[in-house]
Amino acid sequence: MDHRKRTLLGLALLGTISPVMALGKGGKAAPAKRHDALDAELAAIARDPACELASLSVLAIRNGKVVYEQQFGQRFYGNGAAPDKPVQRDTLFRIASISKMMTTLGLMRLVEEGKVDLDRDVSDYLGFTLRNPNFPDRAITLRHLLSHRSSLRDDVGYSWGADTALKDVLVPGARLYGKGGMWASNAGPGDYFTYCNLGWGITGTIMERVTGERFDRLMQRLLIQPLGLSAGYNPAELPNGAVSRLATLYRKRATDDNAQWNPAGPWVPQVDDYATRAPSEPAGIDNYVIGANATPFSPTGGMRISAHDMGTVMLMLMNGGVHNGTRILKQSSLDQMFSRQWTYDGKGGNGDSLDGLFNAWGLGNEQFPDDPATNTRLVEGGGFAAVGHLGDAYGLMSVFVADLKNKNGMVALVGGTSTDPLAYKGKYSSLARFQEQILTSMYRRAILVPEK
């Protein structure tokens, strides 16, 4: 079946996936300005049998104002013990690697306070020497970590329990060091881009070391509470009522094999399934040592937040670090964070683009120059250059992209897919096809077209 026919079929099924009305204060339905054509397009995308979406929550900002918010599908699919629950404006998603950008925003506040220096040897903060043994004379800095040029690799993992210190993994000869598979042998710090989750576990640990605060609570102080967000890196300590608003993340699987995609199978929970149980603290938390290993709180991917609150973060960035009249970050800090640190040479000589997914990077943020030659176009036909981040984990596919100069931006959170996204590739970028469709629809109907 060609894509046009699948889209028409999706439109015919709109009655089964009506967009959810935005919620006002107290959770009551609030009147919303209608974008009927955009609602219909997004609902069709969400129901497309080529790749059905378990849930979808989106937001668009035009000229510094939120002009569109909408939700589709279910944040929880009933299992007999609990009923279906629709996605709502305040539904929180585990946003995967967009968490890295949020962590970096917290870190930049510590830079402003003089607690860390982006170009200082991180060994000075960690309390042990962090060196690639193949390049022992070259220091690793936060700038290297934040731009994925540290020479670290994820080959031995990037998350460990509270009973493990990072030095037990990263220092040659330590009990979990093994053969040193976390270190590149052919490129030293600053030489080569390789996307590396482990760098954010180290960054979060440094943040703990210099403040004496546990990472999840530190991020509450640095970013979440100042912005008035209902969010967090630890489900067990989310604000009152937030757990009940969490989206369970799904993939469609064969009933007898949870490892295989099956578009005809059921929605199988992957993470954040708290319909019948409360989230628990990370294992071993009673013996947690602040500054030894922050990975139990996943600075790399563990933030839970709604699309609506991600819009609050985006507006703060667009307003030069100011939120509701209060300065959160200096404009100079944001300028440094979003300055280009690495650009792919197109040949693989200075980095791994991961089949065109990564082409340019700042500090904790990906950059999309809107160049058809490098697959960096976010919308069909081009016209939207942006900075931000993507996320992909446990079925979730997330996008946070902002044109900070023109104050336009989009957030799209997908809580699960029926088909392997790698088998549903985009037509003009390295995004999944449904991501291209969502962003293009919002760009054309909510950003290019003035609100009516």
- By mean pLDDT, which of 17-26, 63-72, 203-212 is the weakest? 17-26
CA distances from 190 to 144, 172, 300, 367 (A): 6, 21, 20, 18
User: What is the per-residue pLDDT across 240-257, written as a single tens digit (0 to 9) for each?
Assistant: 899 999 999 999 998 767
Q: What is the CA radius of gyration of the chain?
A: 21
State the pLDDT at residue 29. 39
Q: Pick the closest to residue 377 from 428, 445, 434, 308 (CA basis).
A: 428
Mean pLDDT score across all residues of the chain: 92
Identify the pLDDT of residue 288.
Answer: 96
Q: What is the pLDDT of residues 278-319, one digit of tens each?
A: 999 999 999 999 999 999 999 999 999 999 999 999 999 999
Which range, of 17-31, 52-66, 414-428, averages the lowest pLDDT? 17-31
Q: Quick one: pLDDT at residue 374?
A: 83
**Residue 19 vs residue 376, higher pLDDT:** 376
188 pLDDT band (50/70/90 cuts)? very high
Could you tell me which of 141, 276, 268, 261 has the C-alpha nearest to residue 206? Answer: 141
Question: Among residues 372, 384, 375, which one has the least CA distance to residue 408?
Answer: 384
Q: Residue 31's pLDDT is what?
A: 39
Instruction: Tell me the C-alpha distance between 396 and 413, whole Å.
Output: 7
368 φ/ψ angles, rounded to the nearest 5 degrees? -120, 95
DSSP 8-state assignment for residue 310: H
Residue 17 pLDDT exceeds 70: no
How far is C-alpha 343 from the chain's CA centre? 21
H/E stretch holding 410: strand 408-414
> Above 60 in pLDDT, residue 87?
yes
pTM to 2 decimals? Answer: 0.92
Q: What is the DSSP string of 347-404?
A: SSSSB--TTTT--EE-SS-EEE---GGGT--SSTT----EEEEEEEETTEEEEEEEET
The answer to whether the beta carbons of residues 373 and 356 sit under 8 Å apart is: no
Give mean pLDDT, residues 195-217: 98
Average pLDDT over residues 28-34: 46
Give the whole-number percent of the chain exceeding pLDDT 90: 87
Q: What is the pLDDT of residues 329-375, one digit of tens each?
A: 999 999 999 999 999 999 999 999 999 999 999 999 999 999 888 87
Neighbours of 278 (CB within 10 A): 8
pLDDT(11) > 70: no
19 confidence band (pLDDT: 50, 70, 90): low
Q: What percent of the chain has pLDDT over 70?
A: 91
